[in-house]
Amino acid sequence: GIAFDGERFLPIEKAMVPLEDRAHQFGDGIYEVIRIYQGTFFKLEEHMKRLERSAQAVALTLPYEMSKIMELIEKARLASECKEAALYIQVSRGAARRDHPFPDAPARLTMTVRPVFTEKTTALRRLGQRVMTTEDIRWSWCYIKSLNLLPNVLMKQRALDAGFNDAIFVRDGLVTEGTSSNIAILRDRTLYTHPANQAILHGVTRHVVLELAREIGISVVEKAFTVKELKEADEAFTMSTIAEIVPIRQVDEALIKNGNVDEFELTHLLQERFAAQHSRDLVK
């Protein structure tokens, strides 16, 4: 993989940021993850728009014009020589003597491009995942793609330690999202998912999936559902840039469709359409 440390391109293992960086001291920054399929970015513009929205939401001025950032991104992709890969962009409020107020320092934009190993996600997409519900202890601005991922990391690990694949956050009795994904259920050929308000990240994959669902005649209702509704759903799945559409086989002790992911007809249809979409984007 290749990295951009704010000044130059170098191997990831050699790239470093100073100890005084605000990302290290405070988690003071934002990020994006963009998938590269067969050497081509998927939904690059949507991700960059979200980066701009996150930056604005935390009063962070990006260190370069968007055209320059696009140039750096393209350079990183070429230098990586990766076909199936992910580009991560982190923007921190820069390095300065540790003090809470915003520093005078310029923001620091760093990037990495690394290969994506698809074996694990491909298997999960086929076999489905087991998820554990957990209280959403995060802050109330989850629409910002902030570097503060401690609750996500803690709950992911707690789920793994309990023998699940992931944790699903629940706030005030309503399902919000996964530790690194959005979530939807299907019931009577209607798709339900949490509305894109401040309580969830407005996933790029979520947006694509909702479009595809409408295209194939599934009604889409952006309304939050309860844990009980999740457990009693006809089908359920998570969606994210890296894992794509992953069926949910089990929620806590409850099996969905007796754990027969093979019978998730609409989820499979969405997976197929999604795969067709990212290969179609390559042709464009």
User: Which residues are catalytic, by number?
Assistant: 145
Q: Are 267 and 235 in contact (CB under 8 A)?
A: yes
Q: Helix, strand, or coil here: 227?
A: helix
Is residue 235 a contact residue for ligand PMP (CB under 6 A)? no
Q: How many helices (H) and strands (E) does the chain have?
A: 8, 15
Q: With CB under 6 A as the contact rule, which of the stretches 5-13, 115-123, 127-135, 238-246 interacts with ligand PMP?
A: 238-246
Is residue 86 a contact residue for ligand PMP (CB under 6 A)? no
Is residue 90 a contact residue for ligand PMP (CB under 6 A)? no
CB atoms within 10 A of CB 38: 12
Decide whether 94 or 247 has the Cβ nearer to ligand PMP. Answer: 247
- For residue 109, give the nearest of 52, 176, 179, 170 by alpha carbon: 52
What's the rounded Cα separation, in Å, for the pair 283 and 274? Answer: 15
Is residue 193 a contact residue for ligand PMP (CB under 6 A)? no
Is residue 124 a contact residue for ligand PMP (CB under 6 A)? no
Q: 81 phi and psi, to 5 degrees?
A: 55, 30
Decide whether 3 or 147 has the Cβ nearer to ligand PMP. Answer: 147
Decide whether 75 or 207 has the Cβ nearer to ligand PMP. Answer: 207
Decide whether 241 or 271 has the Cβ nearer to ligand PMP. Answer: 241
Is residue 134 a contact residue for ligand PMP (CB under 6 A)? no
Task: Give the one residue of 3, 204, 224, 230 binding ligand PMP; rule: CB under 6 A.
Answer: 204
Place of tokens 């890296």: 242
Task: Give the one residue of 129, 134, 182, 250 binding ligand PMP; rule: CB under 6 A.
Answer: 182
What's the rounded Cα separation, in Å, for the pair 236 and 184? Answer: 6
Question: Which amino acid is it at 137?
Answer: I
Task: Give the one residue of 181, 193, 250, 271 binding ligand PMP; rule: CB under 6 A.
Answer: 181
Contact pattern from residue 30 through residue 59 relative to ligand PMP, giving x for each residue in contact according to CB under 6 A and a dash for the rest:
---x--------------------------
Crossing angle of helices 204-215 and 265-283, in 10° steps, is 110
Decide whether 46 or 232 has the Cβ nearer to ligand PMP. Answer: 46
What's the rounded Cα separation, in Å, for the pair 160 and 126? Answer: 19
Is residue 205 a contact residue for ligand PMP (CB under 6 A)? yes
Q: How many residues bind ligand PMP (CB under 6 A)?
A: 13
Q: 106 phi and psi, to 5 degrees?
A: -70, 150
CA atoms within 13 A on the CB side of 90: 22
Note the residues at the interface with ligand PMP (CB under 6 A). 33, 177, 180-182, 201, 203-206, 239-241
